[in-house]
Structure 1
Amino acid sequence: MAADGGRMAATTPDHGANPMSEEVFADGILGVGFGKGAVRIDFFALSADAADAKGQPAKERRQRIVMTTEGFIEAYAMLSGVMEKLQAQGLVRRQGPGAAAPDKDGKDQTPASGSPSPNF
């Protein structure tokens, strides 16, 4: 803060209506760890020039978020709510015991009826 005629003037940058000014992209989560009361989530981006043993773009660790257990529990609840909405809209199928895994081409192997059970 700077003094201005006996008053303190704020020097915080003005971000307009949206104070969040940074956006981070990740291709996925590389790993999650827990220790000393904190959850650590490592995110990865696919490499533009390095490949793994299968010839696929290598996963390179890019960012880490460290959260308290309370913060992680709140985030998990929020993400669970988003997943329920995606399932309700038919954008993702519920994964669980008995659900068919994608084949080698990444295609869903769930029966056309939408039920993973052969009894329905």
Structure 2
Amino acid sequence: MPGELYADAIGEITVNGTIVRIDLVSLSVTMRDDRGQLVPEHRQRIVMSLEGFANSFDVLQKAMNGLIEAGAIRRAEPDNVVPVRGPKPGGEGIRNGGSPNFE
């Protein structure tokens, strides 16, 4: 087994009980979808405990924050963000603990 593995992305993360499976994918050299885009192919699977996954997530989050602070990458703002309206003046229409989602 090689000491290194290249992957383009994580294809899927599956949790089954206390086991986490992380499927790594790479873009196919030969297969394309209807739009002519290369499709992802399964390459390798990482299997770990929930505790190991949680610890790994913390390490990845710290690495991401370091990259952002160093200016190597920047956090993209999602295009589909919808602003949430605050409460109406006088509290009109606020129910269920004051959430504007239930006006």
What's the TM-score once normalised by structure 1's chain length? Answer: 0.60
| Greater percentage in helix | 2
- Indicate yes or no: 2:34 matched with 1:53: yes
Q: How many residues end up aligned between the 2 structures?
A: 78
Partner of 2:43: 62
C-alpha distance 36-100 of structure 1, shift in aligned 2 (>3 A): closer
What is the CA-CA distance between 1:46 and the residue it aligns to?
0.7
Work out the CA distance in 2 between the residues paired with 1:46 and 1:61: 9
The 5 A counterparts of 1:94-113 are 94-95=75-76, 99-101=77-79
Q: For the residues of structure 1 that align with 2:46 and 2:74, how far apart are their CA atoms?
A: 28
Give, in whole Å, the separation in 2 of the partners of 1:43 and 1:86: 22
Which residue is equivalent to 2:14?
A: 33
Which structure has more relative contact order (CA 8 Å, sep 6+)? It is: 2
Partner of 2:64: 83
RMSD: 1.4
Q: Which has the larger radius of gyration?
A: 1
Gaps of 5+ in 1: 1-20, 102-120
- After the TM superposition, which segments of 4 or more aligned residues of structure 1 sit over 2 Å from their partners? none
Residue in 1 that maps onto 2:54 = 73
Cα deviations across residues 44-90 of structure 1 (Å, max 9, x unaligned)? 01111110122111110111101100100110010001001110011
Aligned residue for 1:42, secondary structure, equals strand
Q: Measure the CA separation in 2 of the matches of 1:74 and 1:27.
A: 22
Q: What secondary structure, in the 3-state scheme, does the structure 2 residue paired with 1:91 have?
A: coil
TM-score, normalising length: structure 2: 0.70
Identity of aligned residues (%): 37
SS in 1 for 2:30: strand
